[in-house]
Amino acid sequence: MKRKVNISIFVIIFSIICYSIFFNGFFGVNSIEIQESDKSYNAGIKTTDKKQIAEIMGILNRANKITFTKYKIAGKSKYKIQLEYRDKTKENLHFYENFGKNTTLITSNKCSCYYKINSRQTKKIFQLLLN
């Protein structure tokens, strides 16, 4: 009995650690709207296709999350994306391409963290949303 309790506790702790490492919290999205940064969201391209949303959320959930670093960003982002969740809340993501070698930096208005993805993932997100 004691062995089963120890194994159960280990599995629970391992699951929590894996969840916190491999998941950035992008879930429950109903629609995604992309827009150039200098324009309003009303003029953007909006998608509600579940397959496209799932693929984009998969990329964002696998992004490298940076929490204890602050960047002073000198340039402007080319595109911004607005995520609308099931509870009607919205999150704005700004994409700073060429932030580093083969790297795109993503900022969010909901958290004080950053996300990094590679240029291939960035191209895939823009291809799904702009076509």
pLDDT of the residue at 22: 61
Give per-residue pLDDT as tens, 46-91: 889 999 999 999 999 889 888 888 888 878 888 899 999 999 999 9
pLDDT of the residue at 122: 92
Domains of the chain plus CATH, in order, are 26-130 (2.60.40.4400)
Give per-residue pLDDT as tens, 15-48: 877 666 666 778 889 999 988 887 776 667 888 9
Q: In b/e form, how buried is each residue of 99-123, taking b as 16+ CB within 10 angstroms?
A: beeeebbbbbeeeeebbbbbeebbe
